[in-house]
A and B are shown apart, each in its own frame.
Chain A
Amino acid sequence: MKLYELTIKDIAELYRKGEATPGQVVDELIKRIDALNPRLNAFISIDHEHINEQVKKAEQMLKGTSPHPLCGVPIAVKDIFTTKGIRTTCGSKMLENFIPSYDATVIEKLRHTGTIIIGKTNMDEFAMGSSTETSYFGPTLNPWALDRVPGGSSGGSASAVAADMAFGALGTDTGGSIRQPAALCGIVGLKPTYGRVSRYGMIAFASSLDQGGTMTKTVYDSALLLETISGFDPKDSTSANIPSERFTALLSSNLSNITIGVPEEYFIEGMDEDVQKAINVAIETMKSLGAKIMDIKLPHTKYAVAVYYILASSEASSNLARYDGVKYGYRAEGSTGLAEMYIKTRTQGFGKEVKRRIMLGTFALSAGYYAAFYGKAQKARRLITDDFNNAFKQCDVILAPTSPTPAFKLGAKLDDPLKMYLSDIFTIPVNLAGLPGISIPCGFTDDNLPIGMQLIGKQFDEKTILNVAYAYEQATNWYKKKPNL
């Protein structure tokens, strides 16, 4: 087995035993990236400039007493997190040359442990998309089938981890942007409870929905990354004042006291047959592991996509008003006045999908329409959340497909925004309710494309979904299968 094929846990173990050094691991990984990234386009930038410095620091820290298990482990970071002195583009021409003056809180936490930040990954522009095709830096490809998308918006992170170009990655999830690409690339993607992970330094898309999280090869590695990046942050006014937990120490594969709810609304017409089959088999596996399975109802599910596109676009139109060509980012040349400069800058600096959402949000918030769209959507959001609250009176975890289909072909949905939006139909309700959700591999289609299963938990109960995911992973080992590259 090659070093780059290992998990974070494996690498930490090698370091502990003195059988490998961060220098060796980084060298191997950079070779891997050099060989594969030109094809997959998973990274927007590799931090060549600071790699040696980071390696030296990690090697020093590993000599100390009880180094952190992430010390010296190379991790990739979605290009939405600000990194001090390292270009952060958010996948947009607007921020093509933006060099942040500060680290996001999650980056600061990783640096503190000696984690090596290897590079910044590709994404849909401003995280708006489900395929990583809206990136200004070109699409990322799916390592399992190079004519297919990796999902999105954290498609670069998903592709990088699935192709063994990073041992783990950070992503963000506003409507499914961690879980859907994790499913489409056959890795583990965890979106924590809203408020669990600091949003400071995470470039804003829709502030009441955005949440940072982890993308890894295994459930254990997700637990490890989550316990490292989570916790209260005074710099984020929505950060929950709830201490981080030692999720790795709490992992257990005992499901005998677990009741899993299966919502009938998530098994819809038009769902891929292989996905349906894989989920049914997974439910049987859960039963055989001792979990109790019950049918539940989430009756307002069908409204979730509509509610989401009103709220997310409204919040985006407000958040993205800051890109005016004055303080940072792109500025259009040749304007005769300030107003013209704003318009030219935004028209040239934003891509199609971003403009579409700014327009939708501006409309939904505009005089005469606010009550009919934004106001109603906020109320409908409550009904969707209440559905979950009612379901969780009966069950501990909800099991559903992550995505109705496996990875789709490049270009298949790009010209039909509504079709693209509907690919997040199973992940969006979780963001609206602010719940934690994890996607884990649960099989493959006949065409050898990965399928993901989603486990949804109660607020701040990441522990239980991690346990159920861990038990399933131990029983199935889907993660050991690798794409042929």
Chain B
Amino acid sequence: MAEKINIDVKKVAELAKLTFTDEELTVFISQFQAILEYISQINELELDNVEPMASPLPWTQRLREDNLQSAEPNTPESNQKMALANAPRSKNGFFVVPKVIE
């Protein structure tokens, strides 16, 4: 049986930029614990001499020249308009966010 892992769920939430209510946390922690216990079974495996696998493909990922490739119509104005089209808030060609510095 896998050992119990004590994790600081609030700390993980902070890293993930999420918050939970106390009620949510109670349910969450017990589910999280069960999942962690389950996934800890990989500790049974002898892995010392195994090469980690990041991609299923037998070759390394391609790189390309860092050339500008734009959509049509290709003008600075149209590109900017397209980039901002889905922004929750924008002004004068910029993304607008709440102020960062007091």
Find out whether the CB atom of B39 lies under 8 angstroms from the CB atom of A310: yes
Q: Which of B28, B53, B86, B100 has the most CB of A within 10 A?
A: B53
- A482 is an interface residue with CB less than 8 A from chain B: no
User: In the complex, what residues of A have CB within 8 A of residue B52's CB?
Assistant: 375, 378-379, 381-382
Q: How far is the CA of A18 from the CA of B100 in the complex (A)?
A: 64
- A237 is an interface residue with CB less than 8 A from chain B: yes
**Min CB gap B60→A, angstroms:** 10
- A347 is an interface residue with CB less than 8 A from chain B: yes
**Residues 26-67 (chain B) with a chain A CB within 8 angstroms:** 28, 31-32, 34-35, 38-45, 47, 50-58, 61-64
Find out whether the CB atom of A418 lies under 8 angstroms from the CB atom of B38: yes
**Min CB gap B28→A, angstroms:** 7
With A309-B35, A336-B98, A338-B99 known as contacts, the answer to whether A378 contacts B54 (CB < 8 A) is yes
Residues of A in contact, count (CB < 8 Å): 71
- A99 is an interface residue with CB less than 8 A from chain B: yes
Among candidates A102, A238, A307, A358, residue contacting B57 with C-beta atoms closer than 8 Å: A238
Find out whether the CB atom of B86 lies under 8 angstroms from the CB atom of A417: no
Among candidates A328, A360, A378, residue contacting B87 with C-beta atoms closer than 8 Å: A328
**Residues 353-381 (chain A) with a chain B CB within 8 angstroms:** 355-356, 358-360, 362-363, 366, 372-373, 375-381
**Min CB gap B21→A, angstroms:** 10
Among candidates B17, B58, B71, residue contacting A102 with C-beta atoms closer than 8 Å: B71
- What total count of A-B pairs have CB within 8 Å? 162
User: In the complex, what residues of A have CB within 8 A of residue B45's CB?
Assistant: 300, 303, 376, 379-380, 383
- B68 is an interface residue with CB less than 8 A from chain A: no
Residues of B in contact, count (CB < 8 Å): 50
User: In the complex, what residues of B have CB within 8 A of residue A385's CB?
Assistant: 53, 56
User: In the complex, what residues of A have CB within 8 A of residue B56's CB?
Assistant: 194-195, 208, 385, 432-435, 459
Find out whether the CB atom of A238 lies under 8 angstroms from the CB atom of B97: no
Find out whether the CB atom of B16 lies under 8 angstroms from the CB atom of A240: no
- A335 is an interface residue with CB less than 8 A from chain B: yes
Find out whether the CB atom of A307 lies under 8 angstroms from the CB atom of B42: yes
Q: Which of B17, B98, B99 has the most CB of A within 10 A?
A: B17
Find out whether the CB atom of B28 lies under 8 angstroms from the CB atom of A346: no
User: In the complex, what residues of A have CB within 8 A of residue B9's CB?
Assistant: 359
- A408 is an interface residue with CB less than 8 A from chain B: no
Find out whether the CB atom of B39 lies under 8 angstroms from the CB atom of A380: no
Q: Which residue of A lies closest to B21 (CB)?
A: A347
With A307-B42, A434-B56 known as contacts, the answer to whether A325 contacts B88 (CB < 8 A) is yes
Q: Which residue of B lies closest to A240 (CB)?
A: B57
Q: How far is the CA of A435 from the CA of B63 in the complex (A)?
A: 24
User: In the complex, what residues of A have CB within 8 A of residue B91's CB?
Assistant: none
**Min CB gap A153→B, angstroms:** 18
Among candidates A362, A383, A417, residue contacting B16 with C-beta atoms closer than 8 Å: A362
Find out whether the CB atom of B17 lies under 8 angstroms from the CB atom of A359: no
Find out whether the CB atom of B86 lies under 8 angstroms from the CB atom of A99: yes
10 contacts between A and B (CB under 8 A): A238-B55, A309-B38, A331-B88, A337-B100, A356-B28, A359-B9, A360-B35, A372-B43, A379-B45, A383-B50
Q: Which 9 A-B pairs have the closest CB atoms?
A: A434-B56, A328-B86, A331-B88, A378-B52, A379-B50, A306-B39, A382-B53, A379-B47, A362-B16
